Structure 1
Amino acid sequence: MVDPEVEPVVDERRASGRPVLLTVDDDPAVSRAVARDLRRRYGQEYRVLRAESGADALTALRELALRGEPVAAVLADYRMPQMDGVELLEQAMDLFPTARRVLLTAYADTSAAIRAINDVDLDHYLLKPWNPPEEKLYPVLDALLESWRAIPARPADEVAVIGDRWSARSFAVRDFLARNEVPYRWLLAGQPEADRLLSASGHDAATTRLPVVLAPGPGPGGPQVLVDPDDTALADHVGLSTRPQREFYDLAIVGGGPAGLGAAVYGASEGLRTVLVEEHATGGQAGQSSRIENYLGFPDGLSGAQLADRARRQVAKFGAETLAARSVTGLESAGGAHVVRFADGSSVAAHTVLLATGVSYRTLEGPGLEEFTGRGIYYGAALSEVGACADEDVFVVGAANSAGQSAVNLARSARSVTLLVRGPSIEASMSAYLVEQIRALGNVAVRTCTEVVSARGDEDGEGHLRSIVLRDRQSGQEHEVPATHVFVFIGAAPRTAWLEGTLQRDAHGFVVAGPDLHLEDGRPPGWALERAPYHLETSVPGVFVAGDARADSVKRVASAVGEGAMAVMLVHRYLAQS
């Protein structure tokens, strides 16, 4: 039951609009102690509810969800009969996806708790007892609640996406919203509610081009109806910033992956007027990782989305601007200024520029493979599609860490996961900890010396993937296998085509910098300064590069963050000498 001495869920008179903290423990004495500590610290701002079983907790959460009341955090004991804490938190995530999830464990359960954190996207675990709470409980919850409050307060039904299940553009819209942490409702065209919303907005369900997004407008007047919007229009209407607030900056960062986010934090915290420009969503490829376990300082691992969320909040905390959904098409330099030009003709200017554009996954080549992109074939983790893979036979193409992390994540819900690898093994390109995890999973198979050569669709006209053709690279034999979901992680191509003719790149398109530049008399051709380029400086003075887009860089999150920080130090040096 839910404890009435704390605050009864069913008492409408007490529902003051305060967010809820729910604690769940089958030991009544422990449960009361947890609730007491929570009330003492957070009772003025939050409603504290207490349940003594997973079933009671889920009942309470469902009632809160029906009434539209916010839940900030759920703290669940690991060992409970019928439903343990991990199972409860997994189900709570479906009801309140943004609520912070904390597992309460005894010292003897630490190893099991760590494994659970790696297997489920938990936010933290706490050892019982935690006396004094001022040292061992409150600092953890303070940080988690701060991150929860930082999420824009948009009710999930404020944004609705109406589209076709197998439409590539519908998938792209959902993926954009998910990666930018914008809550939304997904409605299939033809469903009664979808048709009702379209009719109410003045659109004919039979003839309107999909997807349609119903979103809060930038001003009064009710929901705005966006028919097949581009990313910039979509970002504008869901509250993301797309336009610079200044005319000139000290530092403009192109790319919002770990290198760009690291540079934005260090630049803004050190007083530089900083703007970060991102085309898709901050976090880059790392932001799509289901679990990063080898990043320094996070022994229990964290998801790419968690890392990106924390970095975004740091960027905002220090006052750097972030521009979303802006496609960069050119870079011009004149005097002491650099101008970054956008696809819509607008621009942003700065004393210095950092190129942190990262890389994109290479695409599969062969009949049908391009046709079914976004309709069964997905590049990257495609987090908005993971839920559709439950009890399915899923394929992951690739042999590096991103592929391994995706395979482990998908294995939690898919019936089977087959890792397709061109080479003879995964050991040469994948971290040892991931290799061990994959070997321990009973529903993950690794097929080496195998490549995807073509894809075929259904025969009922819906236009989605039904099968792929695999080729054995040793024997040359081909055979067709049923497939509805294929996630591709094959190599990396730098996102630098827009820099053609502007600065030095290598044969693969990676930006060359510092001592790797082609030099004439100790300086790059056309270099106007007497000094040699700094370590991360490109062939254009004042333009730097960091992270995966740099030639011969180390493709790791930690090195990208480090290069972003180093670039800011070099920016200071450049500005001091200009």
Structure 2
Amino acid sequence: MEARLPKPTILTVDDDPGVAASISRDLRTRYGQDYRVIRATSGAQALEVLAELALRARPVALIATDQRMPEMTGVEMLARARDITPDTKFLLLTAYADTEAAIAAINDVGLDYYLLKPWDPPTERLYPVVDDLLGDWRQAHPPDAGEVTVVGHRWSERSHEVKTFLSRNHVPYQWREIDRDEEAGRLVELAGAGPDDLPLVLVPDGQPLRAPSTLDLAGALGLRTQAEQPLYDLCIVGGGPAGLAAAVYAASEGLRAVVVEKEAPGGQAGQSASIQNYLGFPKGLSGADLAHRAVAQAARFGAEMLLARDVVALEARGPVRAVRFGDSGEVEARAVLVASGVSYRRLEGPGLADLAGRGVYYGSSASEAVQCEGDDVYVVGGANSAGQAALNFARYARRVVMVVRGARLEDTMSMYLIAQIRANDRIEVRLRSSVVAAHGDGHLASITLCEQGSAPEELPATWLFVYIGASPRTDWLGPGVARDPRGFVLTGPELLASSATTPWPLARSPYALETSTPGVFAAGDVRLDSMKRVASAVGEGAMAIHLVHQYLATT
């Protein structure tokens, strides 16, 4: 007989017997089949229960606690509970008079949500909140490590790319390191693979994939890579916040829309461990969570999502715009939205290019922080993305060193991030500094750090993550779409005011987000002078659909 895994626990805490019975009953009614609901009547008892569950290695998914309890408040109990069960979701049940304490607890103890009592009817006020919290917990704690297995070298650039693709597309997998894991060697032998075949990817009911391309990997996993229709109303190139917002609004308003994404939904924002200033999420949310929700929302309205397709050209064919892929294939649409975003700029210096993917990385997914546990991590950059990454790495690393070229974080980073960085004892900020070289044989071993006014120093380092500048992904647009010298797309009034060599061809003025090719629009970070924030990208994506409607109505 196959052993069953223990159910995750939901712990309720309230000193009022009537309220305790009510919340436990409501949660058991909805979630009792998949979760074990346990009740505690005081903060002290709750901590005893949590300690016992920890000793038995029983996962705790959610703690729902009252705030006003004698001897120990709910927030005080949660602060101590965080040390016992660091990944549990926290829900505070509170009266209106205690909302200030609840809001403070978001920063102080990592409170996920606070809910005003009473919560009747639970179907409207309690269950939607708990559904979201448990959904997020389940996503971070899949019931198993996944049926996909990746075998490769720790310091392999391609292995890193494969693992990143799987993580960002929410595909659970097991990682087997060929140099440290005997089972990895056995799997390679069984597959009849050699050193040149790594990384080896084993998928259920499929042939082993030897050093697969991203497109081959996506196809083997059943991800959509081919368009279903011969002609769309709108093709959206890029699945970041702007592209996903455009997909939601286009499909919800009846347009036949398709999103083409080279890597994974979310763009640079999708790699963020915590976006804390996005409207409506006081605790913040991860970029992966935001992307996951947006993809589900777009799919619900009927938008298509093509993954692992690299767009290499744009062609105007009369009233139709064609987007061509590098590995053959294309999508035709009546209008195109360029939302291909930006890439992090590359560091220049001896050894840095050779060690890319072998200790030197450009950007990172939130899940990569755990691999740095106990190590020193260097983060290059002084904008929000670098700050969010540093805070995420600090959860696991022994020390995180931020290398910032500027003289002040305040010049480039939001204050809420600066406050958290300064309060974190594991994070050190090196201002007026830059990494000028990397050293190592096969993988990163040290870096050369140069601080203004001081002699260069070589420091031991195995992890270097870079978050600097922005290089727009616009080479594929060709000469028909005007750009500035750095490659950012000109739109609307900026297009008319510029001295671009590609003039506007029609008698009417271009729409606000329209490029020099009529029917081709741009939104988000790829557009000149965009705000470079998630909320503004979402707004531009939504605004673009209004303009696409106007364009389609006149063609």
TM-score per shorter chain, which class? 0.7 to 0.9
1:199 to 189, 207, 225: 189
Q: Tell me the equivalent position of 1:5.
A: none
Determine the C-alpha separation between the residues in 2 that align with 1:506 and 1:523: 8
Counterpart amino acid of residue 464 in structure 2: V
How far the C-alpha of 1:128 sits from its partner, in A, is 6.6
SS of the aligned residue for 1:247 comes to: coil
Greater Cα offset, 270-279 or 446-455:
446-455
SS of the aligned residue for 1:86 comes to: helix
SS of the aligned residue for 1:24 comes to: strand
Deviation track 1:72-96 (CA, whole Å, cap 9, x = no partner) reads x53455669799443455356xxxx
Determine the C-alpha separation between the residues in 2 that align with 1:566 and 1:525: 24
How far the C-alpha of 1:358 sits from its partner, in A, is 0.6
Number of residue pairs matched by the alignment: 532
Counterpart amino acid of residue 487 in structure 1: F
1:282-301 superposed matches below 5 A:
282-301=265-284
Q: Tell me the equivalent position of 1:536.
A: 513
Determine the C-alpha separation between the residues in 2 that align with 1:106 and 1:313: 32
How far the C-alpha of 1:403 sits from its partner, in A, is 0.9
1:166 to 155, 165, 169: 155
How far the C-alpha of 1:156 sits from its partner, in A, is 3.0
**CA 1:313–1:116 in 2, change beyond 3 Å: closer, same or farther?**
farther
SS of the aligned residue for 1:365 comes to: coil
How far the C-alpha of 1:130 sits from its partner, in A, is 3.9
Q: Tell me the equivalent position of 1:90.
A: 86
**CA 1:440–1:146 in 2, change beyond 3 Å: closer, same or farther?**
closer
Q: Tell me the equivalent position of 1:249.
A: 232
- Asked if 2 retains the 8 angstrom alpha-carbon contact of 1:147 and 1:310, the reply is no
**CA 1:23–1:290 in 2, change beyond 3 Å: closer, same or farther?**
same
Counterpart amino acid of residue 174 in structure 1: K
How far the C-alpha of 1:215 sits from its partner, in A, is 1.1
- Asked if 2 retains the 8 angstrom alpha-carbon contact of 1:255 and 1:276, the reply is yes
How far the C-alpha of 1:198 sits from its partner, in A, is 2.6
SS of the aligned residue for 2:86 comes to: helix
Determine the C-alpha separation between the residues in 1 that align with 2:456 and 2:554: 62
**CA 1:262–1:242 in 2, change beyond 3 Å: closer, same or farther?**
same
SS of the aligned residue for 2:328 comes to: coil
- Asked if 1 retains the 8 angstrom alpha-carbon contact of 2:78 and 2:90, the reply is no
Determine the C-alpha separation between the residues in 1 that align with 2:248 and 2:218: 23
- Structure 2 unaligned residues grouped into runs of 5+: 40-45, 66-73
2:28 to 39, 62, 76: 39
Q: Tell me the equivalent position of 2:552.
A: 575
Determine the C-alpha separation between the residues in 2 that align with 1:390 and 1:149: 22
Counterpart amino acid of residue 256 in structure 1: G
1:171-190 superposed matches below 5 A:
171-190=160-179
Q: Tell me the equivalent position of 2:480.
A: 502
Counterpart amino acid of residue 82 in structure 2: V
How far the C-alpha of 1:270 sits from its partner, in A, is 0.3
How far the C-alpha of 1:390 sits from its partner, in A, is 1.7
SS of the aligned residue for 2:146 comes to: helix
Determine the C-alpha separation between the residues in 2 that align with 1:42 and 1:449: 53
Determine the C-alpha separation between the residues in 2 that align with 1:56 and 1:158: 31
Determine the C-alpha separation between the residues in 1 that align with 2:104 and 2:139: 30
Counterpart amino acid of residue 533 in structure 1: P
How far the C-alpha of 1:489 sits from its partner, in A, is 0.8
How far the C-alpha of 1:172 sits from its partner, in A, is 0.9
Deviation track 1:345-382 (CA, whole Å, cap 9, x = no partner) reads 10000000000011000010011001111111111134
Counterpart amino acid of residue 30 in structure 2: R
- Asked if 2 retains the 8 angstrom alpha-carbon contact of 1:150 and 1:313, the reply is no
2:447 to 438, 461, 468: 468
**CA 1:247–1:472 in 2, change beyond 3 Å: closer, same or farther?**
same
SS of the aligned residue for 2:219 comes to: helix
Q: Tell me the equivalent position of 2:11.
A: 24
TM-score, structure 1 normalization:
0.84
**CA 1:199–1:526 in 2, change beyond 3 Å: closer, same or farther?**
same
TM-score, structure 2 normalization:
0.87
How far the C-alpha of 1:208 sits from its partner, in A, is 5.3
SS of the aligned residue for 1:369 comes to: coil
**CA 1:86–1:473 in 2, change beyond 3 Å: closer, same or farther?**
same
- Asked if 1 retains the 8 angstrom alpha-carbon contact of 2:482 and 2:502, the reply is no
2:105 to 113, 123, 129: 113
- Asked if 1 retains the 8 angstrom alpha-carbon contact of 2:360 and 2:464, the reply is yes
1:513 aligns with 2:491: yes
Determine the C-alpha separation between the residues in 1 that align with 2:451 and 2:500: 49
**CA 1:79–1:113 in 2, change beyond 3 Å: closer, same or farther?**
closer
Determine the C-alpha separation between the residues in 2 that align with 1:91 and 1:145: 12
Q: Tell me the equivalent position of 1:479.
A: 457
Q: Tell me the equivalent position of 1:428.
A: 411
**CA 1:444–1:419 in 2, change beyond 3 Å: closer, same or farther?**
same
**CA 1:367–1:105 in 2, change beyond 3 Å: closer, same or farther?**
farther
- Asked if 2 retains the 8 angstrom alpha-carbon contact of 1:251 and 1:353, the reply is yes
Q: Tell me the equivalent position of 1:548.
A: 525
**CA 1:561–1:406 in 2, change beyond 3 Å: closer, same or farther?**
same
1:232 aligns with 2:219: no
Deviation track 1:195-219 (CA, whole Å, cap 9, x = no partner) reads 232333x324x64521100013xxx
Determine the C-alpha separation between the residues in 2 that align with 1:548 and 1:32: 51
Q: Tell me the equivalent position of 2:469.
A: 491
Counterpart amino acid of residue 127 in structure 2: Y
1:267 aligns with 2:250: yes
**CA 1:250–1:147 in 2, change beyond 3 Å: closer, same or farther?**
farther
- Asked if 2 retains the 8 angstrom alpha-carbon contact of 1:74 and 1:89, the reply is no
CA RMSD of aligned residues (A): 3.1
- Asked if 2 retains the 8 angstrom alpha-carbon contact of 1:438 and 1:444, the reply is yes
- Asked if 1 retains the 8 angstrom alpha-carbon contact of 2:152 and 2:198, the reply is yes
Determine the C-alpha separation between the residues in 1 that align with 2:93 and 2:107: 12
Determine the C-alpha separation between the residues in 1 that align with 2:332 and 2:462: 45
Q: Tell me the equivalent position of 2:68.
A: none
- Asked if 2 retains the 8 angstrom alpha-carbon contact of 1:177 and 1:184, the reply is yes
How far the C-alpha of 1:509 sits from its partner, in A, is 0.3
2:389 to 402, 406, 418: 406
Q: Tell me the equivalent position of 1:329.
A: 312
Determine the C-alpha separation between the residues in 1 that align with 2:184 and 2:293: 35
Counterpart amino acid of residue 74 in structure 1: L
Determine the C-alpha separation between the residues in 1 that align with 2:365 and 2:500: 43
- Asked if 2 retains the 8 angstrom alpha-carbon contact of 1:26 and 1:80, the reply is no
**CA 1:252–1:154 in 2, change beyond 3 Å: closer, same or farther?**
farther
How far the C-alpha of 1:317 sits from its partner, in A, is 1.1
- Asked if 2 retains the 8 angstrom alpha-carbon contact of 1:175 and 1:383, the reply is no
- Asked if 1 retains the 8 angstrom alpha-carbon contact of 2:366 and 2:392, the reply is no
1:343-354 superposed matches below 5 A:
343-354=326-337
**CA 1:81–1:528 in 2, change beyond 3 Å: closer, same or farther?**
closer
How far the C-alpha of 1:58 sits from its partner, in A, is 4.2
1:209 aligns with 2:197: yes
Q: Tell me the equivalent position of 1:562.
A: 539
Determine the C-alpha separation between the residues in 2 that align with 1:23 and 1:308: 27
**CA 1:171–1:31 in 2, change beyond 3 Å: closer, same or farther?**
farther
Q: Tell me the equivalent position of 2:70.
A: none
**CA 1:88–1:341 in 2, change beyond 3 Å: closer, same or farther?**
farther
Determine the C-alpha separation between the residues in 1 that align with 2:249 and 2:316: 24
**CA 1:457–1:127 in 2, change beyond 3 Å: closer, same or farther?**
farther
Counterpart amino acid of residue 338 in structure 2: L
- Structure 1 unaligned residues grouped into runs of 5+: 1-10, 65-70, 93-100, 217-221
Counterpart amino acid of residue 329 in structure 2: S
